[in-house]
Structure 1
Amino acid sequence: MDFHGIDLNLLVAFDALASERNVTRAATRVGVSQPAMSAALSRLRTLLGDPLFLRSANGLLPTQRARDLAGPVAAALRQIESAMMSKPAFDPANAVLTFNLGLPDYPSFVLLPTLLSALEVQAPGVTLNVHAVNGRDAAIELLDSGVIDAAISVPAAEEDGRIKARPLLRDEFVTVLASDHPAARAGLDLPAYLELQHVLVSPEGHLYGLVDRALAEQGLKRRLALTLPHMFAVPPIIAQTRMTSTILKRAALHAQASHQLAILPPPLALPEIVFDLMWHRRSDTHAAQSWLRDLLAAQAATVDASSGTRAIRR
């Protein structure tokens, strides 16, 4: 028998008829009308080539074929119901699986150490496979295709129904100079800032960034000497040149060249930067992925809580 295209609701109707031995009561049990239940019985008879239930003074009497089917069909329906209603638990301590994360340079640097430390303790059998993503569009493409389970990126300008998100990490901008730079000692106001050559971090390769937009609102422009895709390449360059760069605070504080830098407040108003945790709607209720998202949020909260442990050097 070919079951392709068969309405499995017919099995629910059969189970009700086998239990109730009455079309009206079976219809009530299933929540359909009596004519709908009669139609289901007619379809079952055609499908199975057997009358299944015969009318009698005591209600419907099952044929031998119906009696043979009643137990297996009831058991199958209970198993399907159990599978559909249960929410599988996720046991991180005993899990052996791989999570795929889409991460730009910045969250990889600031979040992976504490995340891996937590995984060693809570889920030693879990492997992380990190995919480099440059920008939100690239992250969404990988989420859509199922290549990654979650990503971290800047928030979207508009909400997208298929992609879910929650704020994860926050940071602020600082301006960095070599510690022996004359401007670091004299104080960096906006005119002095504009006299310097600047390094722009742009993962997408743009020649115009957030600082440039803020300056343009005042009718001002800076001089770019270098653009880079990776923020954490900036501190050693700044430490050995007379250039400057405006980057996120953690990238400056945790760089190996940090002790060679003057880390200053930017001489213009810049917004706080938020990174979102993103995932696809299809994995929203998946137990393992939900656990991973909660772990990421917990570790990010730890990182945010410790972000002020070192003061900006003026």
Structure 2
Amino acid sequence: MAVGLMSHFLHLRTFLEIYRAGSLTRAAERLGMTQPAASGHLSALEAMLGKPLFLRQARGVKPTPAADDLAHAIAASLDHIEATMGAARARSDRITGTVHLIGPAEYLSARLAPLLMPLVAEGLRFRIQTGNRERIYAGLDGGHADLAVTASTPDPQRYGFADLETERQMLVAAPDLAARAKGRSVTADFLSALPSLAYDETQPLIRPYFAHVFGTRPDMQAAATAPDLRILLGLAEAGTGWTVLPDYLCADALATGRLVELPTVKPGPDNRLYLVWNKAALRHPRVVHVRDRLLQAIGRASPVRAGDPAR
């Protein structure tokens, strides 16, 4: 009886991973099994149910309505069981192994990197990748990342996630450049007449700042761009131009007077940061352990899950 129940559990776990991954090959990789083994689990489940669960396509598989119904019926319970088992093993075992993290280089460097030392001392290893939103989610989807940090709201049907913290975007410049404002609230026109520093040509931090504070779009081309906010920080400190940076990154420069926050009629916008995980990764105690330790260290005692759990 116990063997039969375990067999059903494994088949359902494989089915749910195929459903979420949209691919037998990708699901097998995430589960650490061969593709024939994953296909065998699926075939056994389809035989037991008496109906097909996926339509095989040239690239991946497409779920049938029966698969949609089954996934929505079992996902929450199965995820809860695996997360509970992972947490129990994390408490009872000596945690070892490698955890893969991905996120913005600046946040990982300034906020998460200092928190990894005690985890490494426990025997864990980390492999850290950096990238933009597309690369972050590609890493999660491909099973190359266990945990990710992003400022984009995750899809609750596909990922588990928790709030990390909120960053405020700040308009900053070196003191000599800031002095041109003569203590008055700056305007969009005032800023357009001065050199600006941006992440890239689309000005991804400056655009939402202008929309939130000035109700307009930036009407200038950056004097310099760099796909790393730490470079923009250095350029701003050198007096090259003004820029918009998250508060955690420029806090030290502001405290020591290397930068000044330019006065505006309202503060800059806030961005919520999330810790995101591939739900399948929670079967590994090391991932549960690192996730919970990071959330506790940042200030959240427990993860907050949201939305439809199926995908």
TM range, smaller chain: 0.5 to 0.7
Q: Does 1:278 align with 2:273?
A: no
Q: Does 1:212 align with 2:212?
A: no
Could you say which structure has the larger radius of gyration? Answer: 1
Alignment of 1:173-192 (within 5 A): 173-181=169-177, 182-183=179-180, 185-190=182-187, 191-192=189-190
State the identity %.
19
Question: 1:151 — aligned with what?
Answer: 148
Question: 1:227 — aligned with what?
Answer: 225
Letter in 2 for 1:199: L
Question: 2:164 — aligned with what?
Answer: 168
Check 1:147–1:238 CA distance in 2 against 1; reply closer, same or farther (3 A cut). same
- CA drift of 1:278 comes to 0.7
Letter in 2 for 1:211: I
**Are the counterparts in 1 of residues 97 and 286 from structure 2 also a CA contact under 8 Å?**
no
Check 1:100–1:186 CA distance in 2 against 1; reply closer, same or farther (3 A cut). same
Question: 2:236 — aligned with what?
Answer: 238
Task: Report how many aligned residue pairs link the two structures.
Answer: 215
- Contiguous gaps of at least 5 residues in structure 1: 1-7, 13-84, 303-314
**Are the counterparts in 2 of residues 178 and 184 from structure 1 also a CA contact under 8 Å?**
no
- Contiguous gaps of at least 5 residues in structure 2: 8-83, 301-311
**Are the counterparts in 2 of residues 102 and 148 from structure 1 also a CA contact under 8 Å?**
yes
Letter in 2 for 1:162: R
**Are the counterparts in 1 of residues 152 and 273 from structure 2 also a CA contact under 8 Å?**
yes
- CA drift of 1:101 comes to 0.4
Q: Does 1:101 align with 2:101?
A: yes
Distance 1:214 1:112 in 2: 25
Letter in 1 for 2:206: V
SS in structure 2 of the partner of residue 180 of structure 1: helix
Distance 1:86 1:139 in 2: 27
Higher RCO structure (Cα 8 Å, ≥6 apart): 2
Alignment of 1:118-137 (within 5 A): 118-119=118-119, 123-135=121-133, 137=134
Question: 2:44 — aligned with what?
Answer: none
Question: 2:198 — aligned with what?
Answer: 200
- CA drift of 1:210 comes to 4.3
**Are the counterparts in 1 of residues 192 and 219 from structure 2 also a CA contact under 8 Å?**
yes
**Are the counterparts in 2 of residues 252 and 258 from structure 1 also a CA contact under 8 Å?**
no
Letter in 1 for 2:180: A
Deviations 1:124-183 (A, max 9, x none): 211111011211x21121112211111101133x72422221111211011111112232
Check 1:206–1:298 CA distance in 2 against 1; reply closer, same or farther (3 A cut). farther
TM-score, normalised by the number of residues in structure 1: 0.59
**Are the counterparts in 2 of residues 174 and 249 from structure 1 also a CA contact under 8 Å?**
yes
Letter in 2 for 1:106: E
SS in structure 2 of the partner of residue 197 of structure 1: coil
TM-score, normalised by the number of residues in structure 2: 0.59
Distance 1:145 1:102 in 2: 12
Question: 2:286 — aligned with what?
Answer: 288
Deviations 1:189-218 (A, max 9, x none): 2143332221112xxx45242432454683
Deviations 1:258-283 (A, max 9, x none): 53221335555532111111111212
